[in-house]
Amino acid sequence: MGSEFVPLSLPPLLIGAFAAVACALPGNFLLLRRQALIGDAISHVALPGIVVAFLITGAISTWPMMIGAAGAAVISVVLIEVIRRLGRIEPGAAMGVVFTAMFAGGVLLLEQTDTSSVHLDVEHALYGNLESLIWLDATGWGSLLDWDALRHLPPELPRIAVTLLGVVLFLWLFWRPLAISTFDEGFARTLGLRTTALGLALVVVAAIAAVAAFDAVGSIIVIAMFICPPAAARMMTNRLGVQVAWSVAFALLSAVLGYVLAGYGPLWIGMYDAVSAAGMIATVSGVILALTAVFGPCRHRAGAPAGV
Amino acid sequence: MLAQALLLQLGYNATLVTIGAALLGAAAGITGTFLFLRKRALVADAVSHATLPGVAMAFLIMVALGGEGRSLIGLLLGSAVSAMVGLWCMNALTRHTRLAEDAAIGAVLSVFFGFGVVLMTVIQSLGVGRQAGLEGFLLGSTAGMLFADAVTIALGGLAVLAVIAVMRRPMLLVSFDPEYAAAQGVNVPRVDMAMMALVMAVTVVGLKIVGLILIVALLIIPAVTARFWSERAGQVVILSGAFGGVAAYLGAAVSATAPNLPTGPIIVLFSAALFLLSLLLAPGRGVLAAILRHRRFQARVHMRQGLLALAQGQEIFEPLTRRLLRRAGLMRADGVATDDGRAQAAKALRDEARWAMLRRDQAQEAASAQYDGLRGIETVLTADQIAALDARIGAPKEAI
């Protein structure tokens, strides 16, 4: 069992779970601040960033591409703000203009350049390739203690783990100011908190998480994990800390269950090929959200548990 | 080649596709305006992503029934059904739970799209997906489009335009001011639903040309662009339709000239270019107009302050003020006022005194509320009133 599970399933499972949690954590605050669609925008604009990085460096290498994607994310956030202010347009529409235009530019660049020699296409950016992140050097559970084998882990795994750590650290350090400024921005300002800088920092952290996750698992998971687990957690409780805990649990559940269903589900119903793990994880998170929307104790707007 | 494409000389199919795209662009632009004015622009994003599972499901069903799964109408029907389900989910989430609309949009968008991707991989494993060109629905592809498909799209665009022509009054009313519309007896939820149905129709018709990821751009960008040019809702609607139609026409024509120019992104980039031009150049709300307005205002303030300083014999150090006064011929290079300058400076000082007197008079509260340090007093008072003020101030003092 271990000899097959560790090399083929453990790394994608871990990467999926880490990516899900790294996106769900900042997603909690974005959801409460009515900025839930930032994740959607970021994951769209990552494409032109990656393509431009590829054009400049001429190779598929991770760091330039991550920098390109992060740069594009920051540019898009600035552009949205500029268009919103200059044109006096509502934020949703400004966002729609920026991310669609940038995504279109990315697709056009991609079609215009010769990427036949490398693995870079739109579908890949959307779906990710979670299933292909395998660890060929592992022979069994013992490999987890074997330094030589560990060095050949898929590089996405340590990267997403570090990102997750960074996100957790950010939330842990700024928990109180973030909570205060999320619920009552005016009060936070009277306390002397720099709410604008804090809001921007949150968006930047979300962008970093999105780009790291995007690199490993594609943009569907990113968008789904920014919104679905926090939204489902919001139906379960009125307390922020509890909500974050629920969202982490839901994100983990979606990642694990989604991966297992995608890999083994088709076999159970008599089909031979696995389906997209990224899509399945998003689907499972949606099912969880649907269940909590129907049965969650705090699903109603007033905030009181049903029946009280 | 390009000129040929723009003049519709590239064969029957390309011509039909270009015309169909233009009709679709116009319909999307107009529909999008209502959505934009209603501040629900991104709802279209959820609707368009929600079409993917429907397309895949329709394909699977058609294959299961022994067909080829390529019928465009069948695929579009499937996409319409799943878009409707997505819309229903979104409404249910916002109405019955505590989630805000943006969260509901994001949830529906990502989950439906994810499920669609799962179904797509199922189709791929069946080994017939490629032939059906389902991938084309993501980003749109007009290459190899069948004649019947092009006709379907053109007719669909035309049908949407016809429905809009019938529904335009109540939709405009609701999107502009829902409370007023409700007071007028318009059934706001029903009109909202009609609006969403139109969005869905545009999305479904546009799937083949623009693709489901970018169709939302056709709904949002022309509307935002048009908003720069007019403050009247009716005009914004028409302008938006025109911008959408032009962008789609140009995009479809240009993309027909070379193999590596995907239709959807080109159309979107043309509308983004129109948007950028409008953002910079539009009168009133454009950036250039705002800068000019600011400069004019700045010049007025500096001129006024400069004249007051001249009148009181103070030396002026501020470079911009000096430049403005000299250019107007009111001050010499050494900082001494010309005759003309002395006359205008005296008038400015006199006006200040008149304003001061006016603002002390409580009976003239309405007039004195207009004081902003720049407005000429003759725009507020009649000549007789000014004469009366002057009488109270007394004769002008000897010029300094």
Say which CATH number the domain at B117 has: 1.10.3470.10
**Distance between CA atoms of residues A73 and A81, nearest Å:** 12
Q: What angle do CA A145, A149, A155 make, to 5 degrees?
A: 110
pLDDT exceeds 60 at position A260: yes
The answer to whether B18 and B252 are in contact (CB under 8 A) is yes
**pLDDT value for A308:** 38
Residue B23 maps to a domain? yes
> How many CB atoms sit inside 10 A of residue B327's CB?
10
Q: How confident is the model at residue A117 (pLDDT cuts 50, 70, 90)?
A: low
Q: How confident is the model at residue A2 (pLDDT cuts 50, 70, 90)?
A: low
| Domain around B228 | 2-264
DSSP A183-241: H-HHHHHHTT--HHHHHHHHHHHHHHHHHHHHHHH-HHHHHHHHHHHHHHHHTT-S-HH
pLDDT exceeds 60 at position A148: yes
**Distance between CA atoms of residues A171 and A244, nearest Å:** 11
Structure tokens at B346: 């005296």
Q: How confident is the model at residue A277 (pLDDT cuts 50, 70, 90)?
A: confident
- Assess B107–A contact: CB distance below 8 Å, yes or no: yes
Q: Is B123 helix (H, G, I), strand (E, B) or coil?
A: helix
Are residues B106 and B170 both part of a single domain? Answer: yes
Are residues B217 and B306 both part of a single domain? Answer: no
Residue B346 maps to a domain? yes
**pLDDT value for B26:** 92
Select the highest-mean-pLDDT range: A292-301, B28-37, B325-334, B361-370: B28-37
Residue B49 maps to a domain? yes
pLDDT exceeds 60 at position A304: no
Residue B132 maps to a domain? yes
**pLDDT value for A168:** 95
Are residues B121 and B229 both part of a single domain? Answer: yes
**pLDDT value for A226:** 93
**pLDDT value for B111:** 94
Chosen for mutation from B90, B121, B257, B261 (greatest number of chain A CBs closer than 10 Å) is B121
Q: Max Cα separation, chain B?
A: 104
**Distance between CA atoms of residues A28 and B348, nearest Å:** 60
**Distance between CA atoms of residues B36 and B28, nearest Å:** 12
**pLDDT value for B51:** 92
pTM of the full predicted structure? 0.84
Residue among B102, B109, B112 whose CB faces A34 most closely: B102
pLDDT exceeds 60 at position A156: yes
**pLDDT value for B39:** 84
Are residues B362 and B292 both part of a single domain? Answer: yes
Q: How confident is the model at residue B285 (pLDDT cuts 50, 70, 90)?
A: confident
pLDDT exceeds 90 at position A286: yes
pLDDT exceeds 80 at position A128: no
Are residues B237 and B292 both part of a single domain? Answer: no
> How many CB atoms sit inside 10 A of residue A294's CB?
12
Instruction: Using an 8 Å CB-CB cutoff, list chain A residues near B272.
Output: 97, 100-101, 104
Chain B 18-47, CB below 8 Å of chain A: which residues?
A: 36, 39-42, 44-45
| Mean of the per-residue pLDDT values of chain B | 85
- Assess B106–A contact: CB distance below 8 Å, yes or no: yes
The mean pLDDT of B200-207, rounded to a whole number, is 87
Tell how many helices (H) and how many strands (E) occur in chain B: 19, 0
Are residues B244 and B326 both part of a single domain? Answer: no
**What does the pLDDT look like over B92-144, one tens digit per residue?**
998 888 888 889 999 999 999 999 988 888 887 776 555 556 777 877 776 66
The pLDDT > 90 percentage for chain A reads 29
**What does the pLDDT look like over B380-393, one tens digit per residue?**
888 888 888 888 87
State the architecture of A2-141+173-295 in CATH terms. Answer: Orthogonal Bundle (1.10)
**pLDDT value for A21:** 94
Q: Which residue has the tokens 């622009």?
A: B41
Residue B304 maps to a domain? yes
Are residues B125 and B234 both part of a single domain? Answer: yes
- Assess B214–A contact: CB distance below 8 Å, yes or no: yes
State the smallest CA–CA distance between residue A20 and chain B in angstroms: 13
**Distance between CA atoms of residues B204 and B83, nearest Å:** 9
| Mean of the per-residue pLDDT values of chain A | 83
Q: How confident is the model at residue A306 (pLDDT cuts 50, 70, 90)?
A: very low
Residue B234 maps to a domain? yes
Are residues B258 and B304 both part of a single domain? Answer: no
pLDDT exceeds 70 at position A279: yes
Are residues B294 and B241 both part of a single domain? Answer: no
Residue among A231, A279, A299 whose CB faces B117 most closely: A279
pLDDT exceeds 50 at position A64: yes
The answer to whether A90 and A32 are in contact (CB under 8 A) is no
Are residues B243 and B294 both part of a single domain? Answer: no
Are residues B26 and B131 both part of a single domain? Answer: yes
Q: Which residue has the higher pLDDT, B204 or B243?
A: B243
Residue B12 maps to a domain? yes
pLDDT exceeds 80 at position B28: yes
Are residues B244 and B363 both part of a single domain? Answer: no
- Assess A273–B contact: CB distance below 8 Å, yes or no: yes
Q: How confident is the model at residue A115 (pLDDT cuts 50, 70, 90)?
A: low
Residues facing B331 on adjacent strands: B337
Domain count along chain B? 2
The pLDDT > 90 percentage for chain B reads 26
Residue B398 maps to a domain? no
Would the CB atoms of A89 and B227 count as touching at under 8 Å? yes
Among the residue ranges A20-24, A41-45, A215-219, B139-143, the one predicted with the least confidence is: B139-143
Structure tokens at A38: 């930032």
Residues facing B337 on adjacent strands: B331
- Assess B288–A contact: CB distance below 8 Å, yes or no: no
**What does the pLDDT look like over B56-83, one tens digit per residue?**
899 888 888 877 767 788 888 999 999 9
**pLDDT value for A20:** 93
- Assess B370–A contact: CB distance below 8 Å, yes or no: no
Instruction: Using an 8 Å CB-CB cutoff, list chain B residues near A296.
Output: 97
With a CB cutoff of 8 Å and minimum separation 6, the contacts of A25 are A167, A168, A171, A209, A244, A247, A248
**pLDDT value for A307:** 44
